[in-house]
Chain A
């Protein structure tokens, strides 16, 4: 089997299932099979989906730098899948907030979205993810051409907004958001460095 077929037929399904694991653990913990969600299960569910969404956007943004460093071009075959899992986890995070936390109470939801900056930020990131998810098909990519590239630069914005959203909702101890911010900064710096290198070579 050549590498591309092996990626498509073997590695993609395996990685897909691995990406579903954090979500399945939320379910089995809720049923108290694999663990427990603790005294505040809604907060636990919401936090877990949120943190995995953040991890997936960082994984997605790490694909290109990794590919450039290692020369493993097949990595790019996983980028869309990781991007869509980012969307999936953030959507679950949002739905947990919308349905379980806010109980679909419209006044509370709109107040939170428009008056609480950290929720405004999170909601903006979600809207960007929706736009990228619905245009993620090959067909849409062909149809949108250069506009597609522009739209999908939104992935960087999602990374920044996501870390910001996380940082702002922490009461005091920002050590965890700080770690995510550092990883994001490294990934973005690598890209900027690469961009400047290219401009220097082809002015």
Chain B
């Protein structure tokens, strides 16, 4: 399927910096005016509506699975996002008031187009696609999630890494005042992740900015997160503020926390168990409590597309 790019936006259409940074004032003024006109209850309805903003011009993708996606509720209430607490329901509860805008992303290291970009400018050149992917957590549960995202390969091509760039390192926002989970040092903040250039430019790898056709909820990593469907979920770093092109394999958060248990590659692999539990099977969230577990597939079922990346790698050693 051919997905055409929308025509370039004329400069006159782009919101000026002043208006952009004053938009909160603008919205506040607007909502006060609105509140004065409308009845009280209308105001309370504005908040959830605003949070569940629809994304426009989302294309389909041949990479999507036809498995039934998990419910919006499952996807947004059962999360591992230690920045907002270590319990599965903590991110849902603690990220509600997080403001993911304004947001900026810094590109640095061995690339031509480095610098700090406003989130909106950063993603503007790329096409939004729906990617319905399996997500396998290292804790032996899985979901099917209809992400909306942009191809990371497109982003990488756009910023033009130099020949010295062998890996991409990512970092999450570090702001304990806004991310309550960072007040305790359960991980060495900020959260860090990394991919080889080949992994980062693989067509399956995306930066997700939405789910179910809507703007990404805070607890799922708003405004922008990584999704690498053949790897364990913890590789999918959330709330990204930095990507750095480097020569040497970057250190990653879970590897730093427990090197015997979590590796840099973290490819889904039913034959290599976690030292404390089996990875052979997984529980599909949302299935009946009597359904039992299902077998975990090599590379989470994406082996056909990605196995060649690891042809020369001992996956038992490089777990």
Query: Which residues of A approach B to under 8 Å, CB–CB?
Result: 38-43, 45, 100-103, 105, 108, 111-112, 116-118, 168-169, 171-173, 175
Most chain B beta-carbon neighbours within 10 Å: one of A111, A116, A117, A171? A171
Measured CB to CB, the closest approach of chain A to B259, in angstroms, equals 13
Our pick among B278, B280, B289 for the contact of A41 (Cβ within 8 Å) is: B289
Decide: B186 and A40 in contact? CB cutoff 8 A.
no
Given A39-B73, A42-B289, residue A116 in contact with residue B88 (CB < 8 A) = no
Our pick among A103, A111, A116, A171 for the contact of B293 (Cβ within 8 Å) is: A103
Query: What are some 8 contacts across the A-B interface (CB < 8 A)?
Result: A39-B78, A39-B286, A40-B78, A40-B285, A100-B289, A100-B290, A172-B257, A172-B258
The residue in chain B whose Cβ has the minimal distance to the Cβ of A44 is B88
CB neighbors of A among B65-109 (8 A): 70, 73-74, 77-78, 82, 86, 88-89
Decide: A38 and B86 in contact? CB cutoff 8 A.
no
Decide: B280 and A108 in contact? CB cutoff 8 A.
yes
Report the Cα distance A111→B278, complex, angstroms: 9
CB neighbors of A among B271-304 (8 A): 276-278, 280-281, 283, 285-286, 289-290, 292-293
Our pick among A102, A111, A117, A173 for the contact of B276 (Cβ within 8 Å) is: A117
Report the Cα distance A37→B276, complex, angstroms: 25
CB-CB under 8 A from B265, the residues of chain A are none
Cβ-based interface call for B153 (8 A): no
CB-CB under 8 A from A41, the residues of chain B are 289
Measured CB to CB, the closest approach of chain B to A51, in angstroms, equals 13
Our pick among A39, A100, A108, A118 for the contact of B278 (Cβ within 8 Å) is: A108
Measured CB to CB, the closest approach of chain B to A190, in angstroms, equals 30
Decide: B88 and A40 in contact? CB cutoff 8 A.
yes
Decide: A38 and B78 in contact? CB cutoff 8 A.
yes
The residue in chain B whose Cβ has the minimal distance to the Cβ of A117 is B276
Given A39-B285, A40-B285, A116-B278, residue A103 in contact with residue B292 (CB < 8 A) = yes
Interface majority SS (helix, strand, loop, mixed), chain B: loop
Our pick among B78, B86, B286 for the contact of A173 (Cβ within 8 Å) is: B86
Decide: A169 and B276 in contact? CB cutoff 8 A.
yes
Decide: A39 and B88 in contact? CB cutoff 8 A.
yes
Decide: B278 and A172 in contact? CB cutoff 8 A.
no
CB-CB under 8 A from A42, the residues of chain B are 283, 289
Decide: B292 and A105 in contact? CB cutoff 8 A.
yes
CB-CB under 8 A from B306, the residues of chain A are none
Among all A-B residue pairs, the 3 with the closest Cβ atoms: A103-B292, A39-B78, A173-B86
Decide: B289 and A118 in contact? CB cutoff 8 A.
no
CB-CB under 8 A from A40, the residues of chain B are 78, 88, 141, 283, 285
CB-CB under 8 A from B186, the residues of chain A are 172-173
Report the Cα distance A39→B91, complex, angstroms: 14
Q: A42-B283, A172-B187, A173-B184 are in contact. List 6 more A-B contacts (CB 8 A).
A: A39-B73, A40-B88, A40-B283, A111-B278, A112-B278, A172-B86
Decide: B77 and A38 in contact? CB cutoff 8 A.
yes
Measured CB to CB, the closest approach of chain A to B115, in angstroms, equals 35
CB-CB under 8 A from B247, the residues of chain A are none
Given A103-B293, A172-B187, residue A38 in contact with residue B88 (CB < 8 A) = yes
Report the Cα distance A111→B281, complex, angstroms: 13
Report the Cα distance A168→B280, complex, angstroms: 20
Measured CB to CB, the closest approach of chain A to B185, in angstroms, equals 10
Most chain A beta-carbon neighbours within 10 Å: one of B88, B184, B187, B289? B289
Decide: B276 and A116 in contact? CB cutoff 8 A.
yes
Report the Cα distance A39→B82, complex, angstroms: 18
CB-CB under 8 A from B280, the residues of chain A are 108
The residue in chain A whose Cβ has the minimal distance to the Cβ of B141 is A40
Given A103-B292, A172-B258, residue A38 in contact with residue B276 (CB < 8 A) = no
CB-CB under 8 A from B53, the residues of chain A are none
CB-CB under 8 A from A168, the residues of chain B are 276
Decide: B74 and A39 in contact? CB cutoff 8 A.
yes
CB-CB under 8 A from A117, the residues of chain B are 276
Most chain B beta-carbon neighbours within 10 Å: one of A42, A116, A169? A42
Report the Cα distance A160→B180, complex, angstroms: 32
Cβ-based interface call for B139 (8 A): yes
CB-CB under 8 A from A175, the residues of chain B are 184
Measured CB to CB, the closest approach of chain B to A115, in angstroms, equals 8
Measured CB to CB, the closest approach of chain A to B207, in angstroms, equals 25
Most chain B beta-carbon neighbours within 10 Å: one of A103, A118, A169, A175? A103
